[in-house]
Amino acid sequence: MKSIASIILAAAAAAVAVPASAQFAKPEDAIKYRQSALTVMGTHFGRVAGMANGRIPFDAKVAADNAAIAETLSKLPWAGFGEGTDKGATTRAKPEIWTDNAKFKEASEKMQGEMVKLVAATKTGNLDTIKTAVGATGGACKACHDNFRKE
């Protein structure tokens, strides 16, 4: 007999692995979800970037807290790019996301990796280290926008 714990674990794994088409009632919901995740991620990354470029007074704890939120959010948008979510009134997603999906996935993973490094950088409390990581992370955001976002 399976233990309760293993049943709960299996259910949790299934919930995470559920296909995007099953997570969203309609394509517009997926589009709204991915845009929301990217907006919140950008807001929290922007606070760290603001400290790196001197627009916001540097506070190591605030930087670390915001980087951690941005890193968590960086995992979320991708579920919202499922099949059938390429068209919508509000999306600026380019067709290449679906026609060149391996490259899109690679770009998304690059950004997520830079976010992990950003979190590590903020934990050092060293502003120069944070500046370097912000530059790399922002570069990964931009590379994906340049290739996969319209206008």
Contacting positions for ligand ASC (CB under 6 A): 42, 45-46, 49, 138, 141-142
Cα separation, 54 vs 70, whole angstroms: 19
How far from chain centre, in Å, is Cα 49?
16
Our CB check for ligand ASC shows the closer of 87 and 92 to be: 92
**Closest C-alpha among 95, 85, 94, 97 to residue 28:** 85
Q: Which is nearer to ligand ASC, 23 or 35 (CB)?
A: 35
Give the ranges where the chain is alpha helix by DSSP (H). 4-17, 20-23, 27-52, 60-73, 96-99, 101-124, 127-148
Residue 33 or 45 with smaller CB distance to ligand ASC: 45
* Shortest distance (Å) from residue 34 CB to ligand ASC: 13
Provide, rounded to whole angstroms, the least separation between the CB of residue 142 and ligand ASC.
Answer: 3
- Rounded-to-10 torsion of CA 122, 35, 145, 59: -20
For residue 39, the minimal CB distance to ligand ASC (Å) is 8
**83 versus 96: smaller Cβ distance to ligand ASC:** 96
In the complex, the smallest distance separating the C-beta of residue 135 from ligand ASC, rounded to whole angstroms, is: 10
Residue number of the CB closest to ligand ASC reads 42
The CA-atom distances, in angstroms, between 127 and each of 7, 80, 123, 141, 143 are 45, 34, 10, 21, 24
Query: Residue 24 or residue 45: which is nearer to ligand ASC going by CB?
Result: 45
Closest distance of CB 24 from ligand ASC, Å: 23
